[in-house]
């Protein structure tokens, strides 16, 4: 419970916690902005890639899913960062999306996180409400994958 409550005071703590990321992802899904955390998580996975073939494949998938203007899950990046990524795709590295990832992290921190902390979804997890405000099924499972929570 203490860890869950810490998510409300620190976005960094929320993002460092697997359970916290799952609850936040459920919240973002409700807000129709789940692509932001999915992109961030994909970038974290890319950094773990061990060989150039794996890096190239993961970078291509990330680009097609989140950077391409043709993607329905396109994340919101400024033109400078988007151009930098486009140029770097010729020879991608595990850190090709670092600046884009930081931009999306900052966006989630400034935009979505304050709404998350004030949401019944978070308050129920942190037992800050009496439970009557729970949206969805009221399972209380941290990081549950139940879409009815929206």
Say if 30 falls within a structural domain: yes
Say if 33 falls within a structural domain: yes
Position 45 scores a pLDDT of 98
Position 146 scores a pLDDT of 46
* Neighbouring residues of 121: CB distance < 8 A, sequence distance ≥ 6: 23, 26, 27, 30, 135, 136, 149
The span from the CA of 23 to the CA of 149, in Å, is 10
Give me the residue label for tokens 């860890």. 3
Say if 143 falls within a structural domain: no
Say if 110 falls within a structural domain: yes
The span from the CA of 34 to the CA of 20, in Å, is 14
Beta strands in the chain (DSSP E): none
Say if 140 falls within a structural domain: no
For residue 84, what is the domain's CATH number? Answer: 1.10.167.10
Mean pLDDT, the chain cut into blocks of 10 residues (150 residues total)? 91 97 97 98 97 98 97 97 97 98 98 97 78 39 48
Say if 150 falls within a structural domain: no
Say if 27 falls within a structural domain: yes
Query: What pTM, to 2 d.p., does this model score?
Result: 0.84
**Domain limits at 42?**
2-130
Say if 139 falls within a structural domain: no
Tokens of 34: 């789940």
Position 128 scores a pLDDT of 63
Number of structural domains the chain divides into: 1
Position 144 scores a pLDDT of 42
Position 140 scores a pLDDT of 39
């Amino acid at each position: 419970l203490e860890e869950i409550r810490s998510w409300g005071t620190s976005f960094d703590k929320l993002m460092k916690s697997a359970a916290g990321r799952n609850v936040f992802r459920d919240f973002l899904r409700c807000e129709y902005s789940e692509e932001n955390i999915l992109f961030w998580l994909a970038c974290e996975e890319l950094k773990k890639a061990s060989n150039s073939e794996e890096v190239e494949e993961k970078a291509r998938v990330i680009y097609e899913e989140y950077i391409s203007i043709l993607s329905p899950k396109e994340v919101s990046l400024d033109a400078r960062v988007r151009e930098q990524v486009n140029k770097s795709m010729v020879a991608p590295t595990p850190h090709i999306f670092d600046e884009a990832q930081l931009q999306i992290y900052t966006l989630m921190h400034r935009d979505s996180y304050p709404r998350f902390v004030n949401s019944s979804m978070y308050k129920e997890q942190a037992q800050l409400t009496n439970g009557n405000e729970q949206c969805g099924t009221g399972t209380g499972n941290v990081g549950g994958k139940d879409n009815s929570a929206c």
